[in-house]
Structure 1
Amino acid sequence: MRLEPSHSIKKEVEKKFHQIEAGYFGEKLVDNTLLEVNYPPHSCILTDVHLKIHDHLYIQIDTLIVTKKYLLVIEVKNIIGTITFQKHSGQTIRTLDGVKTPFECPISQIKRHVQSLEQLRFPLPIFKAIVFSSNRVILEHVPMDEPIFFRKNLSSFIHQLNKKEDRIDTSQFHDLIRRIQSKQHVMLRKSLCDRWKISQESLIKGLLCKACGNILYKVSNKTWKCTKCESNDRTPITHNINDYFILVKDSLTTIECKEFFRLSSTHEAYYMLKKCNLINVNNARKSGYRRNIEVF
């Protein structure tokens, strides 16, 4: 975490930072599972989908799979502990280390997503799946009629859906993709610095060690070493880049990369950014880079 230990709100920001980071990690695990599935021709997988249903209704879907056979809405939950579903009250309880915490029921959440999509009258049946990405979770009182899975069981569920008959032809499929894209709505997320009124000047700059969090120094063009634990790192930007996107803003330039990570030149920043799975917004060296959320 890039706040000094003495910072007054370090603990609160650190907790929120790890929650966001865990969410990204959980969705990435599910993305990797989806790569294992053999899809029928003309399939599309969209991640982190924000759709405008009408002027007063917007929805955010973790993953939306579109084929000529079906639409599948996937809600990813990266939660650990014991999860108890209380169908009669519509509430879900997480128990961890003896502490019980209620949170929004994912069943109700995904049902609202499906009902919202139904308003758009897409020419395909809509299916849903709630996926728990962590192995450190125990599910209790799971409703038998709800598609709730651990990550490793998701591919079998999709495989069964892929056996269904086509409902639209290729031309209609492409029309549907264009229609979904036309409904895409760009959500502007507040960075943690904006949310907590933290000055960027108070953040610790440089590339940090993934083992202990201390500053790395450059040994050669391909190797960085920790100033404290002396761990070597050949790709330090890949695990540091999320710090910038979560703490500062959702895009950066080579100049901002050079300054934030204390690199020797914009040339070095450019080539380090090339190692990350980022979107080059303007396809030029001085353009902005954003997180690549549509990974398929």
Structure 2
Amino acid sequence: MIEKERFLPIRIQKNHALLKRIAKNHPKRLNIESDQTRRLAGYKGEQAIDFHLSKLPEKEFLIFHDLRLSSGKHFFQIDTLILNSAFVLILEVKNYGGTLYFDPDFNQLIQTNSKGEVKGYPNPIEQTRVQCSEMKKWLLKRNINIPIEFFIIISKPSTILKTAPGHAKMLQRVLHVQFLLKSMEKIKAAHKKEVLSPKDMKKISRSILKEHTPKNFDILKHYEISRSDIQTGVICKVCSSYPMKRHYGTWCCTKCKTKDKSAHITALKDIFLLNNSSPLSNQQICKFLHIPSGDIAKKLLSASKQRCSGSKKGRVYFPNTDYQQIKDLE
């Protein structure tokens, strides 16, 4: 049973909003595009395991995607955590192609792609062992002592895996996605003693969901982009031009003449993503949407059920939680 679904990471959404609203020739654009391409590939790789996990018996497993928990001193992230009555399994998903060489001497992963380009990465085996250690601490704080296993999942079946002679054991924890279920059967066979009752599993699930803390950060500060570089206004979904004009209760594109009553919804999402999800005043929203009247903005925000607090001039608005619960970009 999926206890926490996989949604599009907020970092990808912020990159997307930023790329829509900076100039095509902006000096930071290539850097953002490169980061976005890498993150989208990673997300696609994580999605590749979902089909296989859907075949697991629902009553035996609880599945949590994209977790960020704290063991006390710091946070740790897990791509996918699977809870069983006899064991916990952590999956770290990699969407690397070409040839992957797990170097035992320098403890790193070396990728050679189809063009012959070579890149080095931290060893994901060691990375995931750290995650297991942190998860164990998290569980022990709740008086739960249960075996924790892990796999590094390579989402592309064509990727070639290599290591140095005599170190084949190093790759026992690394497998292509199509072998995940078979490998899980081996883990299940090795851990037959039940540690957790169904009641215990539900209790742990509630704790995990309660303590999951999504990472947030200021995207403009991260890329050192000035707010003055952000192009404001409602964007036309048909031709991507902006700003659309508000006319008789609808948004009108001055270029392709498209009319769209709800075009401001995406613009509202953009401003909250680019503003680090901080509360915004009616005046700030008016300025961003190019709306001359605060009353019009208030009606639009009310109709879109935008979360708010305060009253009159002291009222501020917050991003809706469903902004974080989407699976694909627009």
**Considering the TM-score relative to the shorter chain, is it more than 0.5?**
yes
Q: 2: distance between equivalents of 1:202 and 1:249?
A: 16
After TM superposition, the structure 1 = structure 2 runs for residues 75-224 of structure 1, keeping only pairs within 5 Å, are 75-96=92-113, 97-119=115-137, 120-121=139-140, 122-134=144-156, 138-141=159-162, 143-144=168-169, 145-158=171-184, 161=187, 165=192, 166-181=194-209, 184=211, 186=213, 188-205=215-232, 206-207=234-235
Contact 2:278 2:318 in 1 (8 A): no
Q: Judging changes above 3 Å, is the alpha-carbon distance between structure 1 residues 159 and 287 closer, same or farther for their aligned structure 2 residues? A: farther
What is aligned with 1:49?
Answer: 67
Cα offset, 1:148, TM superposition? 2.1
Equivalent of 1:37 in 55, 61, 64: 55
In 2: Cα distance, 1:237 partner to 1:159 partner: 49
Offset from partner CA, 1:105-142 (integer Å, 9 cap, x none) = 1111111111232334333221212123345x623216
Contact 1:94 1:102 in 2 (8 A): yes
Residue aligned with 1:54, SS: coil
**Deviation of residue 202 (structure 1)?**
1.9
| Residue 294 of structure 1, CA deviation | 11
Q: Give the TM-score of the pair, scaled to structure 1.
A: 0.68
**Post-superposition CA distance 1:43-92 (Å, at most 9, x none):** 4222222222232x432111111122321111122333332211233110
Greater CA deviation, 96-105 or 116-125? Answer: 116-125
Query: In structure 1, what is the Cα distance between the partners aligned to 2:65 and 2:90?
Result: 10
| Corresponding position of 1:277 | none
RMSD (CA atoms): 4.7
1:12 and 2:31 correspond = yes
In 2, the alpha carbon distance for the partners of 1:160 and 1:154 equals 10
CA distance in 2, matches of 1:203, 1:272: 24
Q: Could you tell me which amino acid in structure 1 is paired with residue 117 of structure 2?
A: V
Where structure 1 has 5 or more consecutive residues not aligned to the other structure, the ranges are 275-279
Task: Determine whether 1:69 maps to 2:96.
Answer: no
CA distance in 2, matches of 1:281, 1:76: 38
- Measured against aligned partners, the alpha-carbon deviations of 1:27-46 in whole angstroms (never above 9, x if no partner) come to 3x146325522334264222
1:142-199 deviations in Å (ceiling 9; x for gaps): 64552323334334444565676443212222333345456x3635432431212213
Tell me the number of residue pairs that the alignment of Structure 1 and Structure 2 aligns: 280
Q: Which has the larger Rg?
A: 2
Cα distance in 2, alignment partners of residues 195 and 180 from structure 1: 29
Q: For 1:12, what is the secondary structure of its paired residue?
A: helix
Give the 3 Å change call, closer, same or farther, for CA 95–191 of structure 1 in structure 2.
Answer: farther
Q: Is the 8 A contact 2:154 2:176 kept in 1?
A: yes
Q: Which moved more, 1:152-161 or 1:11-20?
A: 152-161
CA contact (8 A) 2:62 2:83 kept: yes
- The question of whether the paired residues in 1 share the 8 Å contact of 2:100 and 2:159 is answered with yes
CA distance change for structure 1 residues 106 and 48 in 2, over 3 Å: closer, same or farther?
same
Q: Which moved more, 1:60-69 or 1:242-251?
A: 242-251
Q: Secondary structure at the match of 1:141?
A: strand
TM-score (norm 2): 0.62
- When you count helix as a share of all residues, which structure comes out higher? 2
Q: In the alignment, residue 92 of structure 1 is paired with which amino acid?
A: L
Is the contact between residue 236 and residue 244 of structure 2 (CA under 8 Å) also seen in structure 1? no
State percent identity of aligned pairs: 19
The 1:40–1:252 alpha-carbon spacing in structure 2 relative to 1, beyond 3 Å, is same
Partner deviation per Cα, 1:206-259 (whole Å, 9 max, x = no partner) = 44769x9666979xx9xx99x69x9xx9x9999999977875535788978897
Seen in structure 2, the aligned counterparts of structure 1 residues 248 and 158 have a Cα distance that, compared at 3 Å, is: farther
CA drift of 1:19 comes to: 2.6
